[in-house]
Structure 1
Amino acid sequence: MIDRRTFLRAAAKTTLLTGASAGFPYLLEQTAVGQSTPVSANDHIQLALIGAGIQGQGDTRTAIQVPGVKLVAVADCYDGRLTHAKELWGANIFTTRDYREILARKDVDAVLIATPDHWHKQAAVDSMKAGKDVYLEKPMIHVYPDGPEIIATAKSTNRILQVGSQRVSSIVYAKAKELLESGAIGKLNLVTARWDRNSSLGAWNYSIPLDASTETCDWPRFLGTAPKIPWNAERFFQWRKWKDYGSGVAGDLFVHLFSGTHFITGAHGPTRAMATGGLRYWKDGRDADDVLLALFDYPQDFNLSLHVNFVDGGEESEGFLFTGSEGQMEIDGSTQTVTVHRVPPAKEPGYTVSTFADSMQKAYIEQYRQKYPLEHPDGPPPRHVESFTAPAGYSDSYDHFHNFFAAVRSRKPVVEDPVFGFRAAGAALLSNLSVQKDSVVHWDPEAMKLV
């Protein structure tokens, strides 16, 4: 008799269609005659959530929109979130403070891990060893030794692990990748990216429930491998503000920018990094900087410049600017724009020619034009702008989950495996290391290790 997991692994290949009304791609299975039919209601991938905070609940809402996915269990260290899970998804949802109880269940096929960063590695490793496929929120690691262990465990257990940087599945980023590879902006030399915020909530000052206490919160379980300290509600509910549990703006936001950069350029990571930053405004007891700026050298002969500012005085904004020898490509939210300004500078004779004697100017330009004939005798071509915007209602988060569940069914590679995830997070955490050491730091992006 075929068991449930074997059946899921043997499911037919999946394809994508775009829903006309919602703008979402829907999971379909190929029939023997090549026609597409919806996934059977009896053929669900049964999902469990580990870490039911704001990210975990938001991720779950998106994940269960994918046809053929059913939430069956939730684990969290705060009782109020376990209660809310039943309010959201039904009284029959299994809930527990101890995620190991979820891993022992035979009706769980995959887990979504959205715990504090310092629990990512252990929860992922435990889940894979228990035979579960894993969707792991970014950053994949909290400290560098986490990466090799997660990669090795995924390989030895033959489990699917996808890291949750949804832009890797975005049609906007896919379009940018296609245009860069086509030479639309010439030779890439600089990538500039930012993610700025200006709100208390955006600076990780998350709400603390009125019943927060050691009775309603499993403080020892939350601490895990972190230093053992007395109960602290702020650290429990606003954990990103402390390095013991989070990875600062580098792990929270830089890692998205690295994921986008690596996906679009095909690069594996920088070789050299330098960063600076500090607590410029949110001096509320936290030890994670609210302003961070960093520069990176890439072996593909381009530089990356990143910054995050939690006190930017304006609305939240994020985006990329890819600068090449012939133009620029910008990503701003759901819109990607390429602007080609003029012919390459190498085809121009140079600004200082006008300082030569008239006869020398004439002789120089004649010789130059013999070597570099004018591609556009009447002057540079007009400025050209091309834009692409995702359709209304499009969700790259949905696509990222869709890709994960498709891989769970087909056992084919995911779009953001643990090697990609480690390269993105490892590069991001170079920023923290540079600030800590007050020096330039070096990284081997192929071997994925500090140099």
Structure 2
Amino acid sequence: MKTASIAAGSIAGTKLHALASAPMEGARTISANDHIQLALIGAGGQGQGDTKTALEVPGVKLVAVSDCYEGRLEHSKELWGEDIFTTKRYEEILQRKDVDAVLIATPDHWHKQIAVDAMKAGKDVYCEKPMIHLYSDGPEFIETAKSTGQIIQIGSQRVSSKIYIKAKELLESGAIGQLNMITAYWDRNSSIGAWNYTVPLDASPETCDWPRFLGTAPKIPWNAEHFFQWRKWKAYGSGVAGDLFVHLFSGTHFITSSKGPTRAVASGALRYWKDGRDVPDVMLGIFDYPEGFNLNLRVNFVDGGEESEGFLFAGSEGTMEISWKGVSVHRSPREKGPGYTVNTFTEAMQARLLAQYDKKYPPQHTGQSYQNEEMYDVPPGYSDSYDHFANFFEAVRTRKPVVEDAVFGFRAAGAALLSNLSYERDAVVHWDPVAMKIVEKG
């Protein structure tokens, strides 16, 4: 919708809007024979949180859980009932005929194999971000989705958010003119936020399937920190780029309709958490987009304040800011005149320049007053995660395309992992966002 501020003449005031709070199609009445039977693979913090949200969508039932730690299987029964089937072997879940879809929330290095196995077993897949751990994961993800016809949605929920949908509409309508720069950050200042997750007191090779957890990772002796705090090591996770940058890439690509950057450079280091981890706790990245804008990203795990996130789109006619609560557009009239230094010339020259300027840019008056600020807020308690799951389950029922398929997921994760590649190489790296491939410059 083009508002008055978008068509701005003279500018004044602020206008507030409430984003629509209509329920998703997934919230419609569901018949008894239309229920979706869901299984969770990877029952850590993200997996349990995702499942609780997924089960809020009408017509969804959890029937099975897989995890490599016995304590989480036991807790799954505490949460969802003694009749829940539990196993350390996800293959047993894929063999079950009563499972329609799986939710994958394992460490990153397991995403591809489990998703591929699930699709080949006839299961639809919701896979947490980042979709890939290695660039070689992407093509197999995409090809398997295509060859099996299974639904796969990647779990960067922003592409289902009412906030991001509105931001996309505003940008396309010309609300801020020509986009030239996006600046985004996600900072934290807590130990848990820095991936120092709790290790249970009974952690041992007896309660944890260590060989299965390692999978394709280097074979090392039992290590409880690696098992429960896996994001701190690149053998299992993808660092701040895969954990947090990928959210910002997903949002950027959705709002701008871009397939991704062509050039990237990143810097960072282990500035504070020197606890054995091998991925940075501070990272900054700069990315060039073929559409004509730059993206600047930052993560700082010890920022001296509360957890915070910022997302600012700068255009030729204004700025658009996204927060957890909504989206706002700010516009200020560009200063006009012959230049800052005109008053350093003779009065005769000043008069000639001002006359010339007035002739070229005659004063305009429309008789109207427009808002310089538009704010769009979501209702209290709004959950984009709920909407993302509702979109997924609606696709499972209708077989219509999801909002974040494997191609979108590969492009978002592929762009994010450019940061790690640049950091490791200490060099600029290049990416073909259409072909989804690293471009090696000779």
Tell me the TM-score normalised to structure 1 length.
0.90
1:233 paired to 2:224: yes
Matched, 1:82 2:82: no
| Equivalent residue for 1:432, pick from 420, 423, 426 | 420
Counterpart position of 1:285: 276
Aligned with residue 385 of structure 2, among 389, 392, 397: 397
Structure 2 CA distance for aligned equivalents of residues 201 and 367 of structure 1? 63
Q: Which residue of 2 aligns with 1:350?
A: 339
Check the 8 A contact 2:27/2:390 in 1, yes or no: no
State the distance in 2 between where 1:375 and 1:124 align: 60
Gaps of 5+ in 1: 1-17, 30-37
Matched, 1:442 2:430: yes
Q: Give the alignment partner of residue 131 of structure 1, picking from 110, 113, 122.
A: 122
8 Å contact kept, 1:121–1:146: yes
The structure whose RCO (Cα within 8 Å, separation 6+) is larger is: 2
Residue deviations 1:182-238, cap 9 Å, x none? 111111111000100000000000000111000000000000000000000000000
Q: Does 1:218 align with 2:206?
A: no
Equivalent residue number for residue 163 of structure 1: 154
Q: Structure 1 residue 187 and structure 2 residue 186: aligned? A: no
Counterpart residue type for residue 388 of structure 2: H
Is 1:146 matched with 2:137?
Answer: yes
Q: CA deviation at 1:95?
A: 0.7
Q: What is residue 422 of structure 1 aligned with on the other side?
A: 410
After TM superposition, the structure 1 = structure 2 runs for residues 224-303 of structure 1, keeping only pairs within 5 Å, are: 224-303=215-294
Q: Answer yes or no: is 1:386 the counterpart of 2:377.
A: no
C-alpha distance in 1 between matches for 2:404 and 2:366: 47
Q: Establish whether residue 319 from structure 1 lines up as the match of residue 310 from structure 2.
A: yes
Cα offset, 1:333, TM superposition: 1.4
CA distance in 2, matches of 1:309, 1:381: 42
Worse overlay, 259-268 or 246-255: 259-268
TM-aligned CA deviation for residue 349 of structure 1: 2.8
For 1:158 and 1:100, how far apart are their aligned partners in 2?
A: 20
Deviates more, 1:40-49 or 1:63-72: 40-49
Matches within 5 A, 1:79-118: 79-118=70-109
> How does the TM-score come out when normalised to structure 2?
0.92
Deviations along 1:375-418, one digit per CA (max 9) or x if unpaired, are 4599x988711111110111100000000000111111101111
Aligned partner of 1:6 in structure 2 is: none
Distance of 2:313 and 2:343 partners within structure 1:
32
**Aligned runs of 1:48-67 on 2, under 5 Å?**
48-67=39-58
What amino acid is aligned across from residue 125 of structure 1 in structure 2?
Answer: V
Task: Say yes or no: does 1:373 pair with 2:372.
Answer: no
Q: How far apart are 1:39 and its partner, in Å? A: 0.7
Q: Secondary structure in 1 aligned to 2:167? A: helix
Specify whether residues 296 and 135 from structure 1 end up closer, same or farther in structure 2 by C-alpha distance, changes over 3 A only. Answer: same
User: Aligned residues, how many?
Assistant: 421
Greater Cα offset, 49-58 or 365-374: 365-374
Residues 337-369 of structure 1 deviation map (CA, whole Å, 9 limit, x = unaligned): 1111114x5x54322333333333332333333
CA contact (8 A) 1:19 1:26 kept: no
What's the counterpart of residue 360 of structure 1? 349
- For residues 187-206 of structure 1, what are the structure 2 equivalents within 5 Å? 187-206=178-197
Secondary structure of 2:217's aligned partner = coil
Gaps spanning 5+ residues in structure 2: where?
Answer: 1-18
Q: Which residue number corresponds to residue 27 of structure 1?
A: 26
Identity of aligned residues (%): 72
2:6 is matched with: none
Between the aligned partners of 2:220 and 2:95, the Cα distance in structure 1 is 30
